Structure 1
Amino acid sequence: MWRARRPGHRHQLVCFPQAGGGAGAFGDWVHQLPADIEVVAVQLPGRQNRILEDPATEVAPLVRTLAQALRPVLDGPFSFFGHSCGALLAFELALALQARGGPRPTHLFLSGQASPVPFRDRPQLHGLSDEEFRAEVLRLGGFDEELAEDEDAMEALLPPVMDDFALWERHALPVDARLDVPITALVGASDSRAPRAEMETWGAHTDTAFDLRVYPSGHFYLFEPGLSSELLEFIAGTVLEP
């Protein structure tokens, strides 16, 4: 868990990174969000400062561990933001917290990831050959051209991405589960991994409010400077509204 402490904050935004990503993906958000919001980013095993740890291979133990780890961290209102596979993890954790009857997020922001039914039904990526998987990841724009041409870098960076897809594609997703938490789905207009119609199906997983926001870019819209600012302004306005 990575936490950018902000004394006197009114809200905590818990962030779940994309497939293969680490908590550092949200480092810049600390400086872009208002002081009333404290950023807490989940660091999964096998990433960044936990690189020597074995990656998670089952979702249920991972969710239990995160629920326990977050207890001393969350000391007031909080919401979840998850991108790509991180959106599935945010959803599963919210379900677990709801089942326990304890504190749960005031809002879920689920980005660049189809809901459980369309995700379950699409062709799986973790069974592709290394070359096919690499081509798919590069097509989504996960790495810039210079990095993509560095064979040593790709050998180090692609396995964690594959691990995440294997984790979620083997997991029995809760296709009928519903939350009593508002959900906002967020997506890039040209994101082939999360078509608009599939993002709209997140609405079936909440008993309260649902909305969809589409940004003029692809899968990694949230890391583009202009769109990132627009996204964070929306999140801040949503979680801090009276």
Structure 2
Amino acid sequence: MSVLSTELVAETPYVWRARKPGSRHRLICFPHAGAGATTYADWAPLLPPEIELVAVQLPGRQNRIAEKPFTDVAPLVGVVAQALRPVLGGSFSFFGHSCGAALAFELAKTLRTKGLPGPARLFLSAQPAPGATGVRHLHDLPEDAFRAEMIGLGGIDEEIARDEFVMDSLLPVLRADFRLWERHRTAQDPPLDCPITVLAGDGDPRAPKETVDGWRNQTNAEFGTVFYPGGHFYFLDSPGDVIALIAEQTLGAPERRPA
């Protein structure tokens, strides 16, 4: 039996969901480097009843910490596309933050290639557009420098940053994710047909304003940018503002009940 819930729970290794049987739109979220599905746990009770939350859990983090992270983008996207098929029915959008935005974009292209329905809208957060220049690569930094960069970006609680055991487990996953996406070059495919909304912090050193406007070249549909006060993890500081924007831009989609 389907149960209405504001709690995000694991349904499969890749899919965590806060079920809302009466919803008419599904928001599928992709976490940033090193992070897991519970990054979006606080979103579930904040979303309106019409929007059901799904978050993707990748190998190498949280309850999947013992599994090796992917080292190539193509296999990752293929596996995620297959794993998400049960939740890709009806009206849905993707939200991805940082590396998660790159994954959401590549998945949207893969769904098109496979002839499958794609997202009603892409919300791409804190990620430079393909081909953007001037973004410093971090994956090949020495250990101490890489650690300092990760802590400096924010998103890691002070308590975790002080825990050597936890950081020793987290940093290899972070480096693997940065290596995966910093070395990736997206194929020069035709633009998508779904609208793209780009979100970023106005003080984000990883996605400065001049690096995100190029996303407009990846869609034939509506495009817009929204900047929030803050840095790379602006969305952790003001989730209500981000959710309000997502709700405004998705609930106008054609009413098709999620499968």
Residue 87 (structure 2) aligns with: 73
> Which of these residues, 156, 161, 165, is aligned with residue 169 of structure 2?
156
Residue 203 (structure 2) aligns with: 190
- Superposed CA deviations along residues 134-174 of structure 1, whole A, max 9, x for unmatched, are 11111111223333222222112211111101111222223
More helix by share: 1
| Corresponding residue SS for 1:138 | helix
The change in CA–CA distance for 1:177 and 1:53 in structure 2 (over 3 A counts) is farther
Aligned 8 A contact 1:116 1:174 in 2: no
Residue 64 (structure 1) aligns with: 78
Aligned 8 A contact 1:186 1:213 in 2: yes
Residue 93 (structure 1) aligns with: 107
| Corresponding residue SS for 1:208 | coil
**Which range moved further: 122-131 or 35-44?**
122-131
Q: Distance in 2 between matches of 1:124 and 1:191?
A: 15
The change in CA–CA distance for 1:48 and 1:147 in structure 2 (over 3 A counts) is closer
Residue 54 (structure 1) aligns with: 68
Task: Structure 1: state its 5+ residue gaps.
Answer: none
Q: Distance in 1 between matches of 2:116 and 2:162?
A: 48
Does residue 171 (structure 1) correspond to residue 184 (structure 2)? The answer is yes
Does residue 206 (structure 1) correspond to residue 219 (structure 2)? The answer is yes
Aligned-pair distance for 1:125? 1.1
Residue 240 (structure 1) aligns with: 251
Task: Structure 2: state its 5+ residue gaps.
Answer: 1-14, 254-259
The code of the aligned residue for 1:228 comes to: P
| Corresponding residue SS for 1:2 | strand
**Which range moved further: 149-158 or 58-67?**
149-158
Q: Distance in 2 between matches of 1:140 and 1:175?
A: 30
Q: Distance in 2 between matches of 1:2 and 1:22?
A: 10
- The alignment yields a C-alpha RMSD, in angstroms, of 1.4
Aligned 8 A contact 1:191 1:218 in 2: yes
Does residue 23 (structure 1) correspond to residue 37 (structure 2)? The answer is yes
Aligned 8 A contact 1:46 1:54 in 2: yes
> TM-score under structure 2 normalisation?
0.88
The code of the aligned residue for 1:202 comes to: W
Residue 3 (structure 1) aligns with: 17
Q: Distance in 2 between matches of 1:150 and 1:61?
A: 33
Aligned 8 A contact 2:32 2:99 in 1: yes
Residue 110 (structure 1) aligns with: 124
Aligned-pair distance for 1:175? 4.8
The code of the aligned residue for 1:215 comes to: Y
Q: How many residues align?
A: 239
Aligned-pair distance for 1:74? 2.3
| Corresponding residue SS for 2:123 | strand
- Superposed CA deviations along residues 4-34 of structure 1, whole A, max 9, x for unmatched, are 1111110000000001110010011100001
Aligned-pair distance for 1:176? 5.3
Aligned 8 A contact 2:130 2:185 in 1: no
| Corresponding residue SS for 2:175 | helix
The code of the aligned residue for 2:100 comes to: G
The code of the aligned residue for 1:113 comes to: Q
Q: Distance in 2 between matches of 1:241 and 1:30?
A: 20
The code of the aligned residue for 2:251 comes to: L
> TM-score under structure 1 normalisation?
0.94
The code of the aligned residue for 1:23 comes to: A
